[in-house]
Amino acid sequence: MRYFVHLAYNGANYCGWQTQPGLPTVQQTLEGALSTLLRQPVSIVGCGRTDTGVHASDFYSHFDTPQPIDDPDRLAFKLNSFLPPDLAIFAIRPVPPNAHARFDAVARTYQYHVSDRRLPFRQGLYSRIYFSPDLDRMNEAAALLLGYDDFTSFAKLHTQVKTNICHLTLARWSREGDELVFTIRSNRFLRNMVRSVTGTLLDVGRGKLTLDGLRQIVECKDRCAAGVSMPPEGLFLTLVEYPPDQFPPPDPK
């Protein structure tokens, strides 16, 4: 039987999602807890691989068991009691045996949070900047990105991916209280892409980069041409979308 796990985590204490020898990761923590509760080894596949310090308010993974789980809701409750407080399980649901948390996702949305103010109650959940960027100008630049699909200039070097093509359907900045939030949606993302796009758009917002300059960066397909990669603590995976007629079913109230 295959099950989807809907979860969220604060990534501050983890070296990303994916298991790494000798390092704390979300996958390792979740696999250990599930293996203990189910009294059998459990291997989990995640919907993506967030980097060290990156958060997820919407994340899915799947695992298999040889026998059906009698009460998935009870398992989710027990799992929450077993896990550290920076990792929350929303639901565990049975899915078709060929359902795949990573490959069946049709879109993902990330948000990056910045502020030019000290926010003590948001510590570790945003990135501090030391200038007041032009929001309208950054939105002009963000809209420009929707006209492209090759994001080589924003991809981490020397990664094993077959293509740097991504189909963006949303890229915009908004003001939320004391923070500026960059929201970006695509069918897929390259490693480090959101953080480097954010840093480059902030260069536009502070007047260091023109719209023509941004076009040149995208079209040259050279990571060295883009802006700095922003720190991980401001980045959240906020929405993972699947075909609506398949899975996962809505969370319980």
Question: Across residues 191-197, what is the average pLDDT?
Answer: 95
Residue 241 belongs to what H/E stretch? strand 235-241
Which residues are CB-neighbours of 18 under 8 A, at least 6 positions away? 25, 27, 46, 49
CB 91 within 8 A of CB 6: yes
Q: Is 67 a domain residue? A: yes
Q: Do 57 and 78 fall into the same domain?
A: yes
Q: Do 114 and 229 fall into the same domain?
A: yes
Question: Across residues 201-230, what is the average pLDDT?
Answer: 94
Note the pLDDT tens digit of each residue in 158-175.
666 788 999 999 999 999
Q: What is the DSSP string of 18-64?
A: S-BTTB--HHHHHHHHHHHHHTS---EEES--PPTT-EEEEEEEEEE
pLDDT score of 226: 86
Domain housing 214: 107-238
Three-state secondary-structure class, residue 210: coil
The letter for the amino acid at 192 is N
Domain count, the chain: 2
Q: Do 120 and 177 fall into the same domain?
A: yes
Q: Do 116 and 153 fall into the same domain?
A: yes
Is the whole model's pTM more than 0.85, yes or no?
Answer: yes
pLDDT score of 253: 46
Q: CA 192 to CA 110: how far, in whole Å?
A: 12
Q: Is the peptide bond before 66 cis (omega within 30 degrees of 0)?
A: no
**CATH number assigned to the domain comprising residue 70:** 3.30.70.580
Q: CA 39 to CA 3: how far, in whole Å?
A: 16
Q: Do 80 and 117 fall into the same domain?
A: no
> In the predicted model, is pLDDT for residue 43 greater than 70?
yes
pLDDT score of 162: 81
Q: Do 72 and 153 fall into the same domain?
A: no
CB 166 within 8 A of CB 194: no
Q: Do 26 and 91 fall into the same domain?
A: yes
Q: Which residues are catalytic?
A: 51
Instruction: Name the region of 135 (left: φ>0; alpha: ψ -120 to 50; beta: rest).
Output: alpha
Last residue of a domain, one of 65, 81, 104: 104
